Amino acid sequence: MKEERISPKVIERLTKYLRCLENLPQEDYISSEELAEKMGFTAAQVRKDLSNFGEFGIRGKGYQVRNLYADIEKILGVHKTNNVIIVGMGRLGNALFSEPEFTKESFNIVGIFDNSENKIGKEINGIKIRDIKELEHFINRKEDVNIAIITVPKSVAQELTDYLVKCGIKAILNFAPIKLNVPKNVVVENIDLYAKLQELNYWKEKVLK
Amino acid sequence: MKEERISPKVIERLTKYLRCLENLPQEDYISSEELAEKMGFTAAQVRKDLSNFGEFGIRGKGYQVRNLYADIEKILGVHKTNNVIIVGMGRLGNALFSEPEFTKESFNIVGIFDNSENKIGKEINGIKIRDIKELEHFINRKEDVNIAIITVPKSVAQELTDYLVKCGIKAILNFAPIKLNVPKNVVVENIDLYAKLQELNYWKEKVLK
């Protein structure tokens, strides 16, 4: 593995390969050309992306779907279950928690948190909403909670982030429309729903012209 | 305006400029260097992005925050209100509908749809959930409904998309983890929550090493 300087675009494409492979017959082989065509990339792109992580596939035969799927899962660390907490149990937090499609087997939601007295103590699907103040204690007791999904208002997102980092969280999936400042050893991915709508709107205006 | 072949990355960055500008004093001027620094891009990138759409800013002074904001909104077509429907009133659809933060003034949710008898006819915030079968009639009656947000299971997303296209929808924001096939004059943006978690997990594993 030479995984030295992988671009975020490569990792994004890996998740797309997974999406594509999961819908194919698992015993079959697929060539980089076929995979590329399904994805709308070039075969060279597919080979280059995968070559970042080692040797895959058999010359003349291509990649076995099941093996390539398993290999990419391993690269992403989703061949195992990763513990996750959700902070902010408004409608969006609730939706993310309640729909197994979003987290699947690879992510295990071990705690849900809020700061509102109306919500703390209530149960959703058998899990109690905890007071965010208990987080440090919760993480110290539980092993291996590194990932937080935060669905809180923009106005409190940075303050919450500072607290999460202090508690030992290493990865944050942020839905608040704000660029979070974190130390170098903490990673953030953003999902900005409004920004996506804006992008879509630009392309819509183009096709309507 | 020479807007010929704009890359999706440019449009994505435009939405980030907006996010950045909205938090700055509106009367102030900002140079491409300052804007670049806030964004984590280079000043050349900022100038190049904006030059795709015309001449902005004043030599030696930079861009006036309020004007640049308004200009970018215009480029994206979000200086006006765009009508939107949501199809799929499960938890996620409900969250997107109910949180004004996601759609703001630029997008006006004019209809919400589902195919479940349990949901059709119920009201959320004073809007009735309609039968998806009424969509064609709804669009014919209402002017200017081009955008659909779809939050339906993967298994029905393509079939629904075909129907939306038939009804005249031109832009789809898709939350189902599947690549939708659409005609050339229809645009799709995808938000794949599970894929984002997978990406985040990769970077988390790197920082934990």
CATH code: domain of residue A139: 3.40.50.720
B117 shares a domain with B180: yes
Q: Which chain A residue lies closest to B102 (C-alpha atoms)?
A: A194
Residue B200 falls inside a structural domain: no
Q: Which chain A residue lies closest to B77 (C-alpha atoms)?
A: A202
Interface test with B, best of A12, A69, A200 (most B CBs within 10 A): A200
**Is A26 within 8 Å of chain B by CB?**
no
Mean per-residue pLDDT over chain A, rounded: 92
A66 shares a domain with A93: no
Residue that terminates a domain, selected from A44, A76, A108: A76
Residue A100 falls inside a structural domain: yes
Give mean pLDDT, residues A114-123: 96
Is B4 a residue whose pLDDT tops 70? no
pLDDT score of B14: 96
B105 shares a domain with B65: no
Is A151 a residue whose pLDDT tops 80? yes
Q: Which residue has the higher pLDDT, B142 or B80?
A: B80
Give the domain extent around A14: 8-76
Is B57 a residue whose pLDDT tops 90? no
Distances (CA, A) of B139 to B85, B145, B181, B186: 10, 6, 21, 16
Among A92, A191, A207, whose Cβ lies nearest the Cβ of B186? A207
Is A101 a residue whose pLDDT tops 80? no
A186 shares a domain with A112: yes
- Within 79-118 of A, beta carbons closer than 8 Å to B belong to 82, 84, 90-92, 94-96, 98-99, 101-104, 106-107
Number of independent structural domains in chain A: 2
**Is A179 within 8 Å of chain B by CB?**
yes
pLDDT score of B99: 82
A90 shares a domain with A165: yes
Contact call for B199 and A76, based on CB within 8 A: yes
A70 shares a domain with A173: no
Is A103 a residue whose pLDDT tops 80? no
B164 shares a domain with B113: yes
A123 shares a domain with A39: no
B176 shares a domain with B87: yes
ipTM above 0.85, yes or no: yes
* Number of other residues whose CB lies within 10 A of the CB of residue A39: 16
